[in-house]
Amino acid sequence: MNALQNKQRWLGFTVLLAALSCGIAQAEAEGSAPEQFQRSYDSEAAGKVPDALAALDALPSPQKEGYVAQLRRGWLLYQLGKHAEAVDAYGRAIAREPRSVEARVGVLLPAMALRRWADVEAQAREVVKLDPGNYLGNLRLAFATYNLGRYAESAASYRQLVTAYPSDVEVRSGLGWALLKAGKAADAAAEFRTVLEVAPKNTLALEGLKATGAR
């Protein structure tokens, strides 16, 4: 082997060593999956939601595209007001775990923020199918049908929730409004009064009672 070949061989070895060093340095900078998840949790706890999202973006594959990462991305994007992106992230989580209740419950918030009531209804029905007694699934279903103008159906859903959660003023106020919109002002007034007996400053009940025309 002549001097030129030795030089070329040494140069190739040096380039390979530099590439390996850069790869190791990059991996150390990015951190392992557990470290990046922990950075994400710590950043969110400190109120640094963009940093929490950036930590997820730095996850190594395949964890970056995994169910937990996408579920968490959906939640963080929702907090940042990026609702359409949040819906997409939750959708990827659902695609990875089709029977996941938590991902379907999670997607309801950004879908509601976007006022996609048909989508909210569809996902809420999936939640209830997988977990019939799920509080949030049933609550969002009642709210979605209300916003879709199906007031009698909404009232029926709210009434089921009132049976299970009699002290829940949000649920009972929702029932009152659904009854009011369904043309049952007297029944609605009774529900609003029940709320105001224990929560006299509840805005929904106060406005609802006023809207019934009752004194």
- Condensed to tens digits (0 to 9), the pLDDT of residues 31-61 reads 688 999 999 999 999 999 999 999 999 998 8
How far, in Å, CA of 193 to CA of 208, rounded?
10
- Residue 18, classified by CB atoms within 10 Å of its CB into exposed (0-12), middle (13-18) or buried (19+), is exposed
- DSSP H or E stretch at residue 84: helix 83-96
Mean pLDDT, the chain, rounded, equals 89
pLDDT of residue 14: 54
The alpha carbon of residue 10 and the mean position of all alpha carbons in its chain are separated, in whole angstroms, by: 55
Architecture of the domain defined by 34-148:
Alpha Horseshoe (1.25)
Sequence ranges of the chain with CATH classification 1.25.40.10: 34-148, 151-215
Give the pLDDT band of residue 23 (cuts 50, 70, 90).
very low
What's the confidence (pLDDT) of residue 16? Answer: 46
pLDDT (mean) for 106-112: 98
What's the confidence (pLDDT) of residue 30? 53
**pLDDT tier, 5 (very low <50, low <70, confident <90, very high otherwise):** low
Residues 150/135/119/111 CA torsion (nearest 10 deg):
120
Question: Looking at the domain that runs over 151-215, which CATH code has it been given?
Answer: 1.25.40.10
pLDDT by residue (tens digit) across 175-206? Answer: 999 999 999 999 999 999 999 999 999 999 99
Structural contact between residues 40 and 55, judged by C-beta atoms closer than 8 angstroms: yes
pLDDT at 169: 97
pLDDT for 131-148, tens place per residue?
A: 999 999 999 999 999 999
DSSP string, 53-114: HHHHHTPPTTGGGSHHHHHHHHHHHHHTT-HHHHHHHHHHHHHHSTT-HHHHHHHHHHHHHT
